[in-house]
Amino acid sequence: MNKATLIGLVATGVVASVTASAVTYTLIGASPIRTAVAEALPGMDMSDGAASGLNGAKPTVTNQPATASVKTAAEPKLVTKYTCPMHPQIIEDHPGHCPICGMTLVPKLFPVGTRDTAGGTVEAAMSGSDQSSAPQVQMPAAVAPQPAQASSRAAVTPQFVTKYTCPMHPQIIEDHPGHCPICGMTLVPKLFPVGTKDTAGDSAHSGNPVIAQVNRSTANPPLAAPVNMPAVSVAPLTLRYMNVVLAPVQWRNLTRQIHSVGLVDFDENRLAHVHPRASGWVEQLNARALGDRVQKGQVLLTIYSPDILSAEKDFLVAQKSGMAELRDAARERLRLLNVPESIINQVAASGKVARTIPVLAPQAGYISAINLRDGMYVTPDLDMYTIADASKVWVQAEILARDMNQVAVGQPTTMTVDGIPGRIWHGTVDFVYPELDPKSRTLKARLVFENPDGVLKPNQFAEVGISGAPQADVLTVPTSAVIPTPNGARVVRKNADGSFQPVLVTVGQSADGYTQIERGLAPQDEVVASGQFLLDSESSLQASFERMTGDTGAPPAVAPEAASSPHQNAH
């Protein structure tokens, strides 16, 4: 590059610089702009003499870069304010918390002149030329660092308050967390206009989180739903389409049937245990296997016992002595050793002792346990046989704690077992145990059933039904008419004017398809036994509209069919 070219480039740059400076001075030549620049750039002398630099003289600038005036002229028209991520309508000019949900406000750029929630305007200002080009926030003196004023302003700012409602039943509105009184779902937070009444009829007057927190801490538990919900009217044709069935409220005698399970067992009063009265050896074993049936007096086995043989010899000596008292004592000793009377008479008649003594069955039945073999040595503490009489059996039934007051000795019972379909056994409650089972927390009741043919086997599962204590002359409705809710049961009653109205009732025992009504209905009332859920939903929806609008005196809703001609609805 030659010198001429270099001189030309330098000259061109100087001219461009001088031209830019001239344009800049021309822009700031007006008095208002000059004043604003003077305030923003205190180091620049903007007097008339300095301003004359626009005509050729250089302005005097003190320790300021040449680009300061350019930056001031291109300053962005945005300011930093603070808003809530969940509620963007909340705009504040200082850090803090959302007055609706309590979240921490986050900074965000807004156009200059954007009003905050309280209605004020924050103007952008630069504190000095040494600050960066990012906009700075200068709070007005009225809102400057006074926490009490900020909190009082936030208390009247929001137009919405947070309440809690049910996703499935929007008519449920509460001012505190909890559960829906209809379906039990957890209430979820939602914004409502200030003044919206909750389910109990209270309204929120302020969105101040401090006051809301106090109200939550001192709030009462959720109140029950109103006793009587709004009545609804439905056209007769719609009732037929809905298959609405009416049932009268009547007096009835209820006998509750308690259903449970049990286990068939031996009748312990019909078990017999066979023990030897003296030690000896088994000579001959007649009953050898479990399940063998025996009759009363049948010979089970014969044993040889030295003790019994010695007692027989003493009996013969006493008989020969001619002393009646001594003979009778010796005979009684043989009886106590369980020697059959026939063997005693045989010894007395023959004058000879019997080497082996038979052991007879004490009752009829079958052998349920045996502990003998041929040639065994037996002692009085050995249980040789257990004979069970299965003509009657016990059933140990498990009764739930809620039903134990309905079970008493002597009540009739029924039983069915698997494997014998179609057959029903009838028995009675023989005994109610005084204690609950520590594991199952149930009460045991002993039932007795006849078993003449022996088809009922011990350890067999059974389903039992116990007729509870009868209740005479109680007010009842069909069980299908009762709508269960967490706050109590409801029924849909037909009013005298033909409308339908859900009412809360207190229910008692249920039996044979009917439920006792303790409070809430009168004998002359009629209730809906089928299709009541649609009518109850319609009444709940109308109640929610009344709570939203605050109009509780609206007339009952009328279905479209009621206002139209029957000929128009007929097809």
69: Cα within 13 Å, side-chain hemisphere: 24
Question: What pLDDT is stored for residue 71 in this prediction?
Answer: 44
Which pLDDT band holds residue 252 (cuts at 50, 70, 90)?
Answer: confident
Phi, psi of 300 (to 5 degrees): -85, -40
- CA-based angle 92:136:156, to the nearest 5? 10
The answer to whether the beta carbons of residues 120 and 92 sit under 8 Å apart is: no
Which pLDDT band holds residue 200 (cuts at 50, 70, 90)?
Answer: low
Which pLDDT band holds residue 429 (cuts at 50, 70, 90)?
Answer: very high
Q: Per-residue DSSP letters for 444-477?
A: EEEEEEE-TT----TT-EEEEEEEEEEEEEEEEE
Lowest pLDDT segment from 195-204, 319-328, 415-424, 552-561: 552-561
Q: Which residues contact 200 (CB under 8 A, 6 or more apart)?
A: 174, 222, 223
Region 457-476: mean pLDDT is 87
Torsion region of 176: left, alpha or beta (phi above 0 gives left; psi -120 to 50 gives alpha): beta
Cα separation of the two ends of the chain:
103
Q: Is the pLDDT of residue 498 over 80?
A: yes
Question: What pLDDT is stored for residue 265 in this prediction?
Answer: 92
The token pair that represents 365 in the structure block: 């039945």
Q: Is the pLDDT of residue 308 over 90?
A: yes
Mean pLDDT of the chain: 75
Q: In 3D, which of 71, 263, 62, 98 has the Cα closest to residue 189?
A: 98
Q: Per-residue DSSP letters for 413-450?
A: EEEEETTSTT--EEEEEEEEEEEE-TTT--EEEEEEEE
Amino acid at 555: P
Region 120-126: mean pLDDT is 36
The token pair that represents 217 in the structure block: 């801490």
Over residues 385-419, the pLDDT tens digits come to 999 998 999 999 999 988 888 898 999 999 999 88
CATH 2.40.50.100 in the chain, residue ranges: 268-388
Q: In 3D, which of 313, 248, 190 has the Cα closest to residue 493?
A: 248
Over residues 35-93, the pLDDT tens digits come to 433 444 444 444 444 333 434 444 444 444 444 444 444 555 788 888 888 888 888 88
Question: What pLDDT is stored for residue 207 in this prediction?
Answer: 39
Question: What pLDDT is stored for residue 274 in this prediction?
Answer: 94
Question: What pLDDT is stored for residue 309 in this prediction?
Answer: 93
CATH 2.40.420.20 in the chain, residue ranges: 232-253+471-566
232-253+471-566: which CATH topology? 2.40.420
Q: In 3D, which of 314, 242, 171, 262 has the Cα closest to residue 529?
A: 242
Query: Between 207 and 252, whose confidence is greater?
Result: 252
Which pLDDT band holds residue 333 (cuts at 50, 70, 90)?
Answer: very high
Question: What pLDDT is stored for residue 157 in this prediction?
Answer: 52
The listed CATH number (3.40.960.10, 3.30.70.120, 3.40.190.80, 2.40.50.100) that belongs to domain 268-388: 2.40.50.100
Q: In 3D, which of 106, 98, 119 has the Cα closest to residue 207?
A: 98
- For residues 547 and 451, what is the distance between their CA atoms, to the nearest angstrom? 66
Which pLDDT band holds residue 464 (cuts at 50, 70, 90)?
Answer: very high
What SS3 string covers 304-342? Answer: ECHHHHHHHHHHHHHHHHCCHHHHHHHHHHHHHCCCCHH
Region 342-359: mean pLDDT is 92
Phi, psi of 483 (to 5 degrees): -105, 110
Which pLDDT band holds residue 94 (cuts at 50, 70, 90)?
Answer: confident
Q: Which residue matches tokens 């009082």?
A: 152
Q: Which residue matches tokens 């010198």?
A: 3
